[in-house]
Structures are given as structure tokens and as C-alpha cells.
Amino acid sequence: MVELDKNRIPKHIAIIMDGNGRWAKAKGQPRTTGHVQGVETVRTITEECVRLGVRYLTLYTFSTENWNRPVEEVKALMGLLFDNLKDDMFMKNNVGFRVIGDISRLPSEIQTRIREMEQLTVHNDAMTLVLALSYSARWEIAKACRDIYVDMQSPAFSGKTEDDITEAFVSRYMQTAFMPDPDLLIRTGGEQRVSNFLLWQIAYSELYFTDTYWPDFNIEQLHAAIADYQSRERRYGKTSEQLQPQPLHKEN
């Protein structure tokens, strides 16, 4: 296993968990088997991220587009989600729980379970696990625009103009306003696209793609992704020279 620089662990890792269905198909099993195994991978990766000191882990769990999948598969996914929203992993590992997305579309019992888990884990501070449920970035951005429009009509925003709508202002309306943008985005399953995930937030994220299906993604591969991240120079539009510490100017 690669050795990591413990001082350069990404504060926020986001993962597009792709390949559950193809993993199951390759084994001659129903797609739901892949989703079940994928849940076990979530537990493994969550616990390792806590151990490494990652502060936020965001998992693309169910996209807005996933509602178009076969009805039976959606029902199975909702059942799996409900069964696994339990406090054992969260309390054992001191992990907080949050959800981003249009949860109004989820079954009422899952909405209730989400609220319960968020409240139960509100004081857990080792790491926050964020599930993107019924989520898409275009939906999120459109919602932010609608919310900004409504607020700009209110007396509390009297005197504000279009010049006040800065990037920082818009970010406060995003679903992710409670956490920093991802340092590292991982996608499993062999595809090399971001699939409508955190489009606003990943402007300067490092991207890492692997052919490994999510059910087979393990601790060693997580370390490989982080090691790759640590090998890169994050310039944020600056030159390498600008990032180097400048010598102190001594007075004559």
C-alpha cells in the first residue's frame, strides 16, 4: 500500500460510485446484488476516511436522472437506503450525517429517517458523511437562482444590486454551503465524466478516474487516489512561481 503524506490528506473527498450494476452483471447476478455490495464498500471507505482525517466525504448516491430507471430497481434502491440509514456506523465512528438534493421526492419514511439521522449525529465531529440523494447539479444551480430571486425581493435585501451577487454570495445558496468544496473527486467504474455532480463546487477539484467498479473499490485503491492527488500541484490559476514562498526583503 502506498505511503501517504498525513499532512496533505484532502479535507473533502467526493465520489461518484459507479459500476454496481455492471459488477453484478459480470458475475451473472441481478443488479440489486451490486447495490448491496456497494453499501459494504461505503462502510469500508467511510471508516478509512475517518481514520485518515478526511473531514467531509460526499457520495453521489442517487441522481435526479436515476428516477428514470426501472421501477423495481428504484424500489429496491429505496429499500436498501432505508435499511442502511442506521446509527451504528455513525455513532461508532463519530460521523455526522447530511443529505443534499431534492429529498421531497423521496418516500416519506426515508425523509423521516434522514431527519432523524441528521439530528442524532449533529454533534458527531470526526467527519461528516454527505449523501447526494435525488440530486443533480443543474437542479441545484437552478434552485439557487430561484432562491436568490425570491430573497432579492424581500426587505432584508433592500439596496442590494446585481453587483452584490458574487461567487461567494451564490455559494451560500448551494446545497453544500455548510462545507468546503471538494479537494478530490473520484469516479469509479471506468467512465470519465462528472455526470451532473457538484458542477459549481468542483471548479478546482482534482479529478481521479479508475476502471474499478464501486463494489471492488477498497482501502488500497482509496490510498492510490489520495497519493495521486498528493502528487499534483494545485495552482488555482496561478503560476508555480507564485505558489513558492517569497524571500524576505531585508532592510539595508
The H or E element containing residue 117 is helix 108-120
What is the reported pLDDT for 252? 37
- DSSP labels for 49-91? HHHHT-SEEEEEEEEGGGGGS-HHHHHHHHHHHHHH--HHHHH
What is the reported pLDDT for 251? 42
Residue ranges per structural domain of the chain: 11-135+182-232
Active site residue 18: yes
Report the CATH fold assignment for 11-135+182-232. Undecaprenyl pyrophosphate synthetase (3.40.1180)
Q: Which of 7, 20, 66, 252 is catalytic?
A: 66
212-228 per-position pLDDT tens digit: 999 999 999 999 999 99
Active site residue 66: yes
Cα–chain center distance at 226: 15
What is the reported pLDDT for 45? 97
Residue 237 has pLDDT above 90, yes or no: no
Q: What is the pTM of this model?
A: 0.91
Q: Which of 7, 18, 94, 216 is catalytic?
A: 18
127-182 per-position pLDDT tens digit: 999 999 999 999 999 999 999 999 999 998 888 888 999 999 999 999 999 999 99
Q: Binning pLDDT at 50, 70 and 90, where does residue 249 land?
A: very low
